Amino acid sequence: MEAYDNARLDAATWFDGIARLSARMEGDARLENCLRHAFHLAALTPPPFDRLTACPMDEEAFEQLLERGAWETAAAALVGGTLRHEIVARGAREAGARVWLEGQSGEARVRASSPARALALAWCAFLLNLAPGGTGQPGGASHKSA
């Protein structure tokens, strides 16, 4: 994924955007819109966090996933190739996901109403663990979403 005209948000604004997106996803916001918002935030990630949000596809390809309703694939693309992810539980009414960085301690685990929502929320939780004032690295966040 290429940043829009090399534009980047400052870290505080970007972390605030990730936190707001996470809050929207915890509610009843349409997943398609949340994934689109996440893609745009990933494109605007400031250094040094940008190495963790390198989506392997361009906006057109990502939009095609959303148009087809391939939300789990879109969420996995957001996680990209640097971070690792796993859907750890699937049920009739709930799914779980985790996101981690290979070789680092800590991970983000989330339960949500669908695998795609859980994975996108775990991605947000992992990134929010990196926010200034936090531990500086993922700290094993656990999160439950309705």
Please write the tens of the pLDDT for every residue from 58-110.
999 999 999 999 999 999 999 998 999 999 877 778 999 999 999 887 899 99
The Cα 144–Cα 138 span in angstroms is: 17
Could you tell me if 118 and 93 are in contact, meaning their C-beta atoms sit under 8 angstroms apart? Answer: no
* Structure confidence at residue 137 as a pLDDT band (50, 70, 90): very low
Per-residue pLDDT at 140 exceeds 50: no
pLDDT above 90 as % of the chain: 74
Span 31-59, average pLDDT: 95
At 19 the pLDDT is: 95
Query: Residue 41: how many CA atoms within 13 Å on its side-chain side?
Result: 27
Which of the pair, 33 or 106, is modelled with greater confidence? 33
Is a pLDDT exceeding 80 seen at residue 39? yes
* Placement of tokens 């795609």 in the chain: 116
**The predicted structure's pLDDT at residue 86:** 95
State the pairing for strand pair 83-90/141-144.
unpaired
The pLDDT value given to residue 105:
78
| Cα–Cα distance for residue pair 20/48, rounded to 1 Å | 21
pLDDT band for position 143 (cuts 50, 70, 90) = very low
